Amino acid sequence: MKKVKEYLIEKLILICGLASIIFVIFIFIFLLKEGLSLFKSESIFQFLGGKNWYPISDPPELQILPLILGSLLVTIGAAVISVPIGIAAAIYIAEVAPLRVKEILKAGIELLAAIPSVVLGFIGIITLAPWIKIIFNLPTGLTALSGSVMLAFMAMPTIVTIAEDALYSVPKSYKEGALALGATHW
């Protein structure tokens, strides 16, 4: 009886795995079929290098350069914001914070990582964008700055966790040797 159950479970897992692969293939085929029609009206160079993204105009202009550059701008801005703060937070948690504070901060960081990005994006649109609009006297707060700040907030738990793990992986003998040679805790 146990072997029959095990066999059925193995086959069920195999069927689920194959089904997920088949679904991904169908999604890829659908996107390819729908997307290739764009290249009947525009060349690949116009698509990649053009400056207009007006998908609802007649005829639609689908040139992706502004989207690529905007994504790069927001990503670089988020890295500039999140990396220094994340590494500083990791150093504080790993080296400075008392044990009780360390436990609270680690739990808080794990909770931040559990918030879905859609929720954080919505909070950014509702709270951060109007704030940026008022502070910088802009017609809209939906700017690369607000995108960078929210993306940095989303990336921060990952950066803190990875940096903290890296700090913990340094052997204690290295730290003790540095202290013995005259280095301070800082």
State whether 8 and 80 are in the same domain: no
Q: Residue 36 — very low, low, confident or very high, per pLDDT cuts 50/70/90?
A: confident
Question: Nearest-5° angle of CA 66, CA 67, CA 71?
Answer: 115
Count of structural domains, the chain? 2
> Would you tell me the crossing angle of helices 144-168 and 99-114 to the nearest 10 degrees?
130
Which tokens in the block code for residue 59?
Answer: 């005829």
Q: What would the pLDDT profile of 142-157 be if each residue is shown by its tens digit?
A: 999 999 999 999 999 9
State whether 82 and 28 are in the same domain: no
State whether 75 and 34 are in the same domain: no
Q: What would the pLDDT profile of 119-138 be if each residue is shown by its tens digit?
A: 999 999 999 999 999 999 99
Cα 98 to Cα 168: distance, rounded to the nearest angstrom: 15
Q: In this structure, is residue 142 part of a structural domain?
A: yes
State whether 91 and 162 are in the same domain: yes
Give the model's pLDDT for residue 46. 87
Which pTM was predicted?
A: 0.76
Q: What would the pLDDT profile of 45-91 be if each residue is shown by its tens digit?
A: 888 888 988 888 888 888 899 999 999 999 999 999 999 999 999 99
Question: Does the pLDDT value for residue 175 go beyond 90?
Answer: no
- Report whether 66 contacts 47 (CB < 8 A): no
Neighbour count for residue 98 (Cβ, 10 Å): 8
